[in-house]
Structure formats: C-alpha cells, structure tokens
Amino acid sequence: MASDLEKRAKEAFIDDHFELAVDLYTQAIALNPQNAELYSDRAQANIKSNNLTEAVSDANKAIELDSSLSKAYLRKGIACIRLEEYQTAKAALEIGASLAPEETRFVKLIKECDELIAEETGVLPDLSLEKPSTEDVVSTEDVQPVSDPSNQLTVAFVKPKYRHEFYQKPDEVVVTIFAKGIPAKDVHIDFGEQILSVSIDVAGEDTYHFQPRLFGKIIPKKCRYEVLSTKVEIRLAKADPLHWTSLEFSKDNSVVPRVSVPVIGEQRPSYPSSKPKRVDWDKLEAEVKKEEKEEKLDGDAALNKFFQDIYKDADEDTRRAMRKSFVESNGTVLSTNWKEVGNKKVEGSAPDGMEMKKWEY
C-alpha cells in the first residue's frame, strides 16, 4: 500500500500536482514512518509548493533516519537558500557534496551560498562565478504520468495538537509548547538561522510538527530546549537585540534593521530616584537678583520698582516713615523723613484736579 502511494505521489509530482504529491507522501509516511526516502521526496514536493519550513523539517527527518542520504541534504540546502538561511544551507550542501561528489548541483549551490553570504556581509563576491538557479532540482525518473488529476484531495485545516506561546527578553525568545507527559526521546528539535523545527513523534499518535520561519535571526549554537513534565520549553538566542512583534516572520512585520549611532564620550544612563536633588540656593538667589536688576519696566511697574529699591536700601527710620505716611494717607503720600511724619498724622493729598473723600461704611 505504501509503495503504491509513493508511486502515485511521484506521478503527481511529475504532472506538477505538488499539493497532491505532498498529501500522498504524507499518507505513505503514515504507513511507513521510518522510510527516509519518503521524507526526502516530500521535502522536494514541499519546496515546489513553497512550503519551505515544512521542506526543511522533512529533510531533517530524512537525515535523522539516514544520514548518508545525499539528496536530503540537497533539498535542505535549497529550502534554506530560499529562506535566506545561507549559512545553514551551505553547511548542509557541503555534507551532501562529500556524500555525492559526482553531483554537480552541490558545487553550484555552494558557490551560490558563498555569493549570497558575501553580499549579506557586505563583501563583494567573485564575479567570475556563474550564479546558478535553484529551480532545476528535480531528477528525472522513468515514471509514466497520470492522466487523471481528479484524484487530487482537498486538505482541510486541522487544529494544532498542542498549544504554544512565546515571550521574550532582550537577548532571547522563549517558546513554550504545552505537551504534557511527552518522553524526551520523542521530541526532536532543530535550529536554523531563522527557522525552528519541532517534531513530537509519540508511538501510536500522529506526529506533531511545528516549523515556523522566525521573526528574526537566531544563533543556533546558543539555542537550547528542555522537555518538562507539562511542556517543552525552547530558548532561542537572538542574533540581534531586536523586539519581536510576533514569533513568525511575515512581510507585514519584517525586522527593522538597527541603526548604529556613534556616541561621543561616555553617557551615563539616568534613573528615577526618590533621593532629593541638591539645590544651590545661593546660586539660584544670585541669578534671580541679576534677572530682576536687569529687567526693564515701564509705567507704574517702574515706579513701584523705584520705591522698592529705596525701601530695600534704607535705614530703619526711613522705612518707618515710608510705612506710616503711606498707610495714613491712604496711599497718596510717601515720605522718607521720620522727623517730619513721626509726631503727626499724615493727611492724604489728592492729585491735581481731584479731591479726597472719606468712605462711609
């Protein structure tokens, strides 16, 4: 039965029915889950369907089952190139080239990775190298095409088996998959430059796959995971200290590149504090006095300022005379001679053309 499904999947692939091929390979894998060839071929169909993270996951599974399967490394390399994970792609392609030195596609794709890595790092590539295409990756096989595409199946959306969520710190993202009571041997996790591949394969149950293309790039060597009694906790080391607005990459929320701003001198960060700030009151008073002295006033304000200056610099008798005369005359007389106003009541003096009146309460 599995071999029949595999044959139909290959025929569907030749006829460019890639989604149908993926579905048929999936059915074949369910019947023969230890067949590395099936995972490798489904990876190829996923590449054609543009399911790139699924393709990487399938290639990883094929490599896990058969580390000598060169075409699994080839398909992982192609998928990673399209995901712009050039370092991961190159590493896989180099292993594949060592297993199949006669396969020229490895050499061409490794050169392509070198060019893309050089472009990404700002180093000009060797223009003498011919840049190959990743489109022509299907090896021809002597298979008769099917004439009836009516076998194509409709794949319905299936709710994920396990719930997941994430939170982040400045230097890492923590992903939690809520899978309870899972043996550690059944959990397989791979890290790429910008991809996370999780497989939970418990005997007697459908295999759980989670392969997101991540919001930002990570450092695979620093990533780690732990299988706990109630969950699987994955720690992704950020390649750049950026804030991830989501776990998965999309064109609508792509990473904003960091802009390096040169800092002149050392700038110490300031933090809020409950400690009272020390104020130099003498310096503050001097500044206020200087401002008042230099201030230019007009009209009544200038006159009031003139009398204030007199009062401020006067002796005690002069100040007493000014206070007494001003109060008793209802603000119409201001004398500085205490001998003149000290022994008598100061009568009010109305301005010319006006007369004094007493208010009745």
Query: Each residue of 142-167: pLDDT tens digit?
Result: 444 444 444 444 444 456 788 899 99
* Region 41-70 average pLDDT: 91
Position 136 scores a pLDDT of 44
Query: Each residue of 190-212: pLDDT tens digit?
Result: 888 888 889 898 888 888 888 88
User: What band does 252 get if pLDDT is binned at 50, 70 and 90?
Assistant: low
Residue linked to tokens 């400045």: 170
Position 323 scores a pLDDT of 85
Q: How far is CA 71 from CA 84, 188, 226, 243, in A?
A: 20, 21, 31, 37
Query: Each residue of 294-350: pLDDT tens digit?
Result: 666 666 676 677 777 777 788 888 888 888 888 887 777 878 888 888 888 887 777
3-class DSSP state for residue 138? coil
The rounded distance, in Å, linking the Cα atoms of 106 and 97 is 6
Q: Where are the domains of the chain?
A: 2-121, 163-237, 305-360
Buried b (16+ CB within 10 A) or exposed e, 91-129: bbbebbbebbeebebbebbbbbbbbbeeeeeeeeeeeee
Strand partners, 164: 177
pLDDT beyond 50 at 128: no
* Region 170-184 average pLDDT: 92
The segment with the largest mean pLDDT, out of 18-32, 283-297, 335-349, is 18-32
**Least confident span in 25-29, 151-155, 219-223, 310-314:** 151-155
Q: Which residues contact 42 (CB under 8 A, 6 or more apart)?
A: 9, 21, 22, 25, 26, 29, 58
Position 151 scores a pLDDT of 47
* Region 54-67 average pLDDT: 91
Where helices occur in 83-189 by DSSP H, the ranges are 86-99, 104-121
Position 300 scores a pLDDT of 66
DSSP code, position 277: P
Share of the chain above pLDDT 70, in %: 75
Position 276 scores a pLDDT of 57
* Region 72-92 average pLDDT: 90
Position 62 scores a pLDDT of 92
Position 152 scores a pLDDT of 46
DSSP code, position 324: H
Distance, CA of 210 to chain centre? 21
- Smallest Cα–Cα separation from 110: which of 129, 128, 127? 129
What's the CA angle centered on 52, arms 60 and 211, to 5 degrees?
Answer: 60
Both ends of the chain: CA-CA distance in Å? 118
Average pLDDT of the chain? 79
pLDDT beyond 90 at 45: yes
The rounded distance, in Å, linking the Cα atoms of 70 and 356 is 117
pLDDT beyond 60 at 125: no
Given the candidates 2.40.160.60, 3.30.2130.10, 1.25.40.10, 3.40.30.10, the CATH classification of the domain at 2-121 is: 1.25.40.10
- Smallest Cα–Cα separation from 103: which of 70, 128, 65? 70
How, if at all, do strands 163-168 and 232-237 pair? Answer: unpaired
Strands (E), the chain: 163-168, 172-178, 187-191, 196-200, 208-210, 224-227, 232-237
Position 147 scores a pLDDT of 43
The tokens for 297 are 């006033």
Position 122 scores a pLDDT of 67
DSSP code, position 133: -
Architecture of domain 163-237: Sandwich (2.60)
> Which residue has better confidence, 277 or 266?
277
3-class DSSP state for residue 56? helix
Question: What angle do the packed helices 52-65 and 36-48 form, to 10 degrees?
Answer: 160
